[in-house]
Amino acid sequence: MKVYYESVVLLNFLLDYMILYGTKRILKINQKNSRLLLGGVVGSLTTFLLIYKVSSKELFLIKILLSTSMILISFGKRNFLKNMEYFYLLSILLGGIFYLFDLPQNILFRYSILVFGSIGVMALLIKEIVSYKEKIKNKYQVQIYYKKKWYNLEGFIDTGNQMISPIKKESIILVNLNLPISKVIYVPYQTLNSRGVVPCIRPDKVIIEKKNFSNCLIGLAKNKIQISGCSCILPNTFKEELC
């Protein structure tokens, strides 16, 4: 029975460590894994609830206290609420395996399946969430004021957009819009596969995430912008100011 109990403690520790590690990866927290290991040790203390009878209210309070301690030990006080949010999100998603599959009633076997099955689930989960965050972090709300009219767009920073007007060194924002054009500025461009000119206009005002950008032109894209949900491509030169 002693070996059985120690096995449950070990499996519980591994599960808590994986959830903490997943939180670290998703939020890109720069923290030593030794802190996460210590947080996992604290989380494994919930195993003692198997041998002590406590009320549902006491159980809830103990779990809140231990999970709070795990976050503080592993990541510190900085961004505590956000860290806690993702910690609980991963806990709920992984814990859902119990309900998705009809697992054996033997607690040791259940924990074994949960922990080792969760390794694959966690890897896929981290990959998808990190990939999604990478996609959305370069998206910005763009407002263009031109000829007494505001245009609200969603822009995407493209590292490949290095176009700059040759004389005034103005960056180019590429858009898919039908604008009333009066004065056109032609800016030459060159890529690995082609070269040409893009027709541009000078906007009255450009606001991106409540920041004013004055040294830029609006380029009228010939082809439809393929990035999902975006109607304009921001130049790479804006990245430093927006990040």
Look up residue 101 and give its amino acid. F
Residue closest to 168 by CA, chosen among 195, 181, 187 = 187
CB-count burial class (<10 Å; 0-12, 13-18, 19+) for 172 = buried
> Would you state the pLDDT for residue 72?
93
Domain boundaries, given as residue ranges, for the chain: 2-136, 139-242
The domain 139-242: what is its CATH number?
2.40.70.10
Residue 33 neighbours by CB distance under 10 Å: 13
Length of the chain: 243
Chunked into runs of 10 residues, the chain (243 residues) has average pLDDT values of: 63 82 82 88 78 76 88 90 85 63 53 62 67 66 90 81 84 86 85 79 90 90 71 81 70
Residue 157 C-beta-side C-alpha neighbours within 13 Å: 19
> Would you state the pLDDT for residue 124?
66
Give the single-character DSSP code of 224. P
Residue closest to 114 by CA, chosen among 36, 43, 18, 38 = 18
Handedness of CA 14, 15, 20, 21 (dihedral sign): positive
> Would you state the pLDDT for residue 1?
44
> Would you state the pLDDT for residue 217?
93
